[in-house]
Amino acid sequence: MFCVTKFRMLGAALAIAVVGASGPALAQDKETVLKDRQATMKEQGKNTGAVKAYLDGKGDLAQAKTAAADLTQTTKKIPELFPPGTDGPNPTGDYVAKAVIWTDWNKFLDAQKAAAAKADALLVAVSSGDKTAIEAAFNDLGKNGCGGCHTTFREKIEK
Amino acid sequence: MTAGLDGIVRQILSAAVVALLPALSLSAAADEASRGGYLANAAGCEDCHTDRDHGGQPYAGGRALATPFGTFYSPNITPNPETGIGRWSDEQFLRALRDGVRPDGANYFPVFPYPSFTKITDADARAIKAYLFSLPATRQANRAHDISFPISWRFLQNGWKLLFFSPGPFRPAPGRSEAYNRGAYLVTALAHCGECHTPRNWFGAMEPDRFLAGNPDGPDGKSVPNITPDPETGIGNWSGEDIATLLKTGQTPEFDFVGGAMGEVVRNTSRLDDADRRAIAVYLKSLPPIHSQKKGR
């Protein structure tokens, strides 16, 4: 009984220590979050490029399939790339995440889930090897998935 | 006897024609409305005339358009007779697009891109009206613009028009390809690309010698890129195929997918025919390159 209380106190003390340190830690975190986010988006861009290359007759189907599989993973982890407090200034990029992501988090999640479902559909199409189906799925993911989010949740930084 | 038979045949035939006529003109009207739907999509009417952020009905207006001159609210262009354009004649609709004038004779503000729409052919304008009149008539009153004196004085727009507005339909350039002329018509008239991509002078008029050379102060205070073929500050390094791809899927040659206002535009251009997207590319590639102060994007 005594031990449990002691542990609780220790827990509380630790919690206070963490909260106390969270100021500078957050700033550090934001930088890391933004870097992660940019790297993931660039990776997604590269992967859409690989599918486009196949559609244009400049790339092979195996690479397109690897790329589409990667897109199904990265579109699913988008929510963790946007923890609260990571809108606003972004010194190393051309764009910022709009605050509406966090004020209307469910709308953001809906858009992300839609994009992830479109990535899944693209992988199915690429696996089938049917070029017409791949093109339709690719256009849908690009325009409504990627472009849909960029239209509502991203804005350009004016420099 | 023969004459009698002839007469009967004639009567039957003319009865058949009379019976068929309404059906024929109905299907012609439906064709015109569907052609108008394609054109209205190319012109992006729905984007400005729908308050999507607040769940507004399509074409019922009310979208806030922030400009350096104040905030304008788009009007209802559904066929509702009281709050929309349901009582407008074809002639009134044509005047609005061609001359920037309301049915009551007052001027529109150039936030309504009539300086581009003046180039739309009468046949296309009529088709667009037929399409709009085929839509549900939504009852939604128009909201007054949030602009201050002296901008709010509509008659002062007459001076603006005198200085900056050249009315008149699109004229195809002789000796240019069909694709070039179709692209020119789409870019300068229907899709009114210049309204966002061309910088404006102190009076809010497009600077004609910097057509499509980028606008540092576009809608909602955002900069809009230079889309002339300048290799450094424009899209000179893009192929025609790159341009057509962007219009179809929103994908740039750097594998980004455009967002913001262009994301909305791509929703429309993705529904164009491939030939129209290629025509836009042909026209843009043929423009003189104009250097802008900074890279537009």
B133 and B222 both lie in a single domain? no
Question: How many CB atoms are closer than 10 A to CB A100?
Answer: 15
Residues of A in contact with B259 (CB under 8 A): 147, 149-155
B158 and B197 share a domain?
Answer: no
pLDDT tens digits for range A78-99: 999 999 989 877 888 889 999 9
Residue B223 contacts A, CB cutoff 8 Å: yes
Instruction: Count CB neighbours of B232 within 10 A.
Output: 11
Give yes or no for a contact between B63 and B74, defined as CB atoms under 8 angstroms apart: yes
Domains: count for chain A: 1
Residue B224 is part of a domain; what is its CATH number? Answer: 1.10.760
The per-residue pLDDT for B100 is 97
Give the mean pLDDT per block of 10 residues along chain B (297 residues): 62 66 75 97 98 96 92 97 98 98 96 97 98 98 92 88 93 97 98 97 93 91 94 96 96 93 95 98 97 69
The verdict on residue A6 lying in a domain is: no
CA distance A83 to chain B (A): 21
B95/chain A closest Cα distance in angstroms: 33
Q: Determine, yes or no, domain membership for B3.
A: no
Supply B136's token pair: 């549900």
CB distance B214 to B197 below 8 Å = yes
Residue B98 falls in which region: left (phi positive, over 0), alpha (psi -120 to 50) or beta: alpha
Question: Does residue A46 fall inside a structural domain?
Answer: yes
* CATH code where residue A50 lies: 1.20.120.10
For A45, the closest chain B residue by CA position comes to B255
Read off the pLDDT of residues A9-27 as tens digits, 9 standing for 90 and up.
Answer: 444 444 444 443 444 445 5
Domain contains B253: yes
Q: What DSSP line would sit under B16-54, residue for residue?
A: HHHHHHHHHHHHHHHHHHHHHHHHHHHHTHHHHTB-GGG
Q: Do B66 and B155 share a domain, yes or no?
A: yes
Nearest C-alpha neighbor of B264 from the set B48, B40, B63, B111:
B48
Boundary residue ending a domain (B164, B198, B228): B164
Residue B51 and residue B158 in one domain: yes
How far A29 CA sits from the closest chain B CA (Å)?
25
List chain A residues with CB under 8 Å of B266.
143, 147
**Where is B64: in which H helix or E strand?**
strand B64-67
Name the pTM for this structure. Answer: 0.85
Q: How many CB atoms lie within 10 A of CB B265?
A: 20
Note whether residue A24 is domain-resident: no
Query: Is B251's CB within 8 Å of A52's CB?
Result: yes
Range(s) of the domain holding residue B116: 46-139+148-164
The pLDDT confidence band at residue A157, using thresholds 50, 70 and 90, is confident
In the predicted structure, residue A114 carries a pLDDT above the cut 50:
yes
Q: b or e along A120-150 (b: 16 or more beta carbons within 10 Å of the residue's beta carbon)?
A: bbbbebbeeeeeebbbebbbbbbbbbbbbbb
What distance in Å separates the CA atoms of residue A10 and residue A140, rounded to the nearest whole number? Answer: 53
pLDDT at B20: 65
ipTM reported for the complex, 2 dp: 0.77
pLDDT at B21: 63
Residue B67, classed as helix, strand or coil, is: strand
Question: Are both B119 and B200 inside the same structural domain?
Answer: no
Query: Which residues of chain A does B225 touch, with a Cβ-Cβ cutoff of 8 Å?
Result: none
Above pLDDT 90, what percent of chain A? 70
Model confidence at A35: pLDDT above 50: yes
Residue B11 placed within a domain: no
Residue of B154, B132, B128, B163 whose CA lies nearest to B72: B154
Residue A46 contacts B, CB cutoff 8 Å: yes
Closest to A147 (Cβ–Cβ): which among B223, B254, B259? B259
Question: How far is B202 from B145, CA to CA, in rounded Å?
Answer: 20
Taking contacts as CB-CB distances below 8 angstroms, the residues of chain B near A45 are 254-256
- Candidates A48, A150, A156; nearest CB to B222: A156
Q: B11: which 2 tokens? A: 């009567």
Q: Between A2-55 and A131-140, two packed helices, what is the crossing angle to 10 degrees? A: 130
Residue A41 belongs to domain spanning? 31-156
**Are residues B186 and B154 part of one domain?**
no
Q: Do A148 and B263 touch (CB under 8 A)?
A: yes
Please tell me the distance in Å from B270's CA to the nearest CA on chain A.
8
**DSSP for residue B66:** E
Q: How far is B127 from chain A (nearest CA, A)?
A: 28
CA distances from A158 to A96, B17, B97, B224, B296 (A): 10, 65, 33, 10, 10
Would you say residue B212 lies in a domain?
yes
As for how many domains chain B has, the answer is 2
The CA distance from B73 to B145, in Å, is 6
